[in-house]
Amino acid sequence: MRIRIEVGVLGATGMVGQQFINQLAGHPWFDLVWLAASERSSGKRYADAAPWRLDTPIPEGVADRTVEAATPGVGPRLVFSALDAGVAGPLERAFADAGHLVVSNARNHRMDPTVPLLVPEVNADHLALLRTQAKLRSSSPATPASRAEKTSRGPTPGVARSTVRSATPSGIGVSSRHAAASA
């Protein structure tokens, strides 16, 4: 039996979050174990917090899950971020600083040379930049002040930009296979 990687979705109640949920639920490599959103949705059943807007039915078991607050350090190591660009930058950085690997759909880290922009069918090898981020993150003392300085001026550790959809039949599967190998 193959071990599946536990994953979560930040911004799970929005349209992009629903796309991630739709792609991840029942995925052969991933186990969708955590749904996170704003304090406004935290504590609610997913079906009550997020009216399902996709043409496909809500995946089995998702409607009754409880939405949790998007709190860095909580949830699985690998999170897919569907956050709006208005909040994605600092929150994704905070998750990365807390040890999460963040796959983002937002524009916030687009110009950071240490954050790979992934098109899995074209440049999956760019995930190697996550190792570079980890080395940069661990090269100085891990005090809250040094982390804040590093994330405000330097590389964004543990963050990769990707697209929700992939040209493969398994959706985001190619990215995940490479992410698992690189993590």
Domain ranges within the chain, ordered by starting residue: 5-182
User: Hey, what CATH topology would domain 5-182 get?
Assistant: Rossmann fold (3.40.50)
Confidence of residue 78 (pLDDT cuts 50, 70, 90): very high
Which position has the higher pLDDT, 16 or 127?
16
Specify the range with the lowest mean pLDDT, choosing from 8-22, 50-64, 167-181. Answer: 167-181
Which residues are 31's β-sheet partners? 6
pTM of the model: 0.73
Token pair for 157: 């550790």
Confidence of residue 119 (pLDDT cuts 50, 70, 90): confident
Q: How many CA atoms lie within 13 A of 183 on its CB side?
A: 22
Mean predicted lDDT score pLDDT of the chain: 77
Token pair for 46: 């997913």
The residues near 46 (Cβ < 8 Å, ≥ 6 apart) are 12, 13, 35, 62, 63, 64, 65, 66, 67
